[in-house]
Amino acid sequence: MTPSPTSTLTIASVDGLVVPSVTGLPTGAIGWLIDRWSDLLSAVGDAAGIEMLQYGFMHRAFLVGVLIAVMAPLIGTFLVHRQLALIGDALAHTAFAGVAVGLFVNAVLGTGISPYLTAVVVAMIAALAIELISEVTDAYNDVSMAIVLSTGFALGAVLISLNAGGLAVGINQYLFGNLATVSRSNAMILIGLFLVVTLVVGTTYKQLLYVTFDETAARVAGLNVPWYNRIMTMLTAMVVVGAMQIMGVILVAAMLVVPVAGAAQLARSFREALLASIILAELAVLVGITLSFQYEATAGGTIVLVAVALYVGAVLLGKVQSNRKTVGDIHATAEEQTAD
């Protein structure tokens, strides 16, 4: 399924009316961006003699990886500090059901819908369901989360086995992710998700921070907390599906959690924490993809192992830092007292 590389403004006829296709222009622009990115990496590859940058699929893998490493910790920082890290895992497993739905529909109806699109839809529905359950029961509890998680995965497994005549073949790429299968259209889907996620977080950063830090005070300050919670889980669903392409269902949640946990060891302010988590995630993705190419190891696993190594490094660095700071604090307090 490869869309025309230069899909400009197309004209579609709907109910006798001639209207410009809504998707024509944006996909054209995104396609152009992907091409320029490819040119850039080719040039870098030629100049520096890096073999892996000769391949188009590696260009797309790096593009997708770089974007994931921004949006996963961006959302993850809010989730982790609300002790909601499990939501990512639950949504990833329901997204798997979405993939299965897409493959199933394609097999039955002979359509060519990207399974990632059906995964986005199903994961968003699951996100809403989780929110509604938590609003009714007045708490996010791990039991309901575990139920959503297993239901999603079970549904996916059943749908796939029902249609086993060839479906099960490609399923590993969704479970564990695959660098080589990041197609142009899937890269476009990811860029779309990336734009939505960063735009929404950019606009509602203050509100999300307030709700994350102190939900009661946020309610007193007049914020519609349930609404922001819904936004948060919906964005999580988008990130999870986006990151699934190279991380796989099983490991995708790690990108939401591990870089954030590392950053929390080093950062003082919330902004620092966001920035540090993105830097750690970028390092993990770039190093992980490179190693995965060199040693022909699975990308998702390699990235997570690098991320965990960075986390351990951050913990050690944090310990050294806080020891030094405690000494500094004692000096500062002494100065304050003499100043008084």
Q: Which residues bind other proteins (CB under 8 A)?
A: 81, 203-204, 206-207, 209-210, 212-214, 216-217, 219-222, 263-264, 267-273, 329, 336
Report, in Å, the least distance between residue 231 CB and other proteins.
13
CA-nearest of 198, 215, 204, 119 to 159 is 119
- With respect to other proteins, which residue has the nearer C-beta, 32 or 213? 213
CB 277, min distance to other proteins, A: 10
Tell me the C-alpha distance between 255 and 330, whole Å: 37
Pair 93, 249: CB distance under 8 Å: yes
Nearer to other proteins, 217 or 316 (CB): 217
- Phi, psi angles (nearest 5°) of residue 244: -55, -30
Q: How far is the CB of 220 from other proteins (least distance, A)?
A: 4
Alpha helices in 49-183 (DSSP H): 56-80, 86-109, 115-137, 142-162, 164-167, 172-176
Quote the distance between the C-alpha of residue 229 and its chain's center.
17
Q: Which is nearer to other proteins, 14 or 136 (CB)?
A: 136
Report in angstroms how near the CB of residue 51 gets to other proteins at its nearest: 40
Q: Which is nearer to other proteins, 215 or 282 (CB)?
A: 215
Distance CA 230, CA 260 (A): 21
Amino acid at position 292, single letter: S
Minimum gap (Å) between residue 36 Cβ and other proteins = 30
Whichever of 9 and 136 has its CB closer to other proteins, that residue is: 136
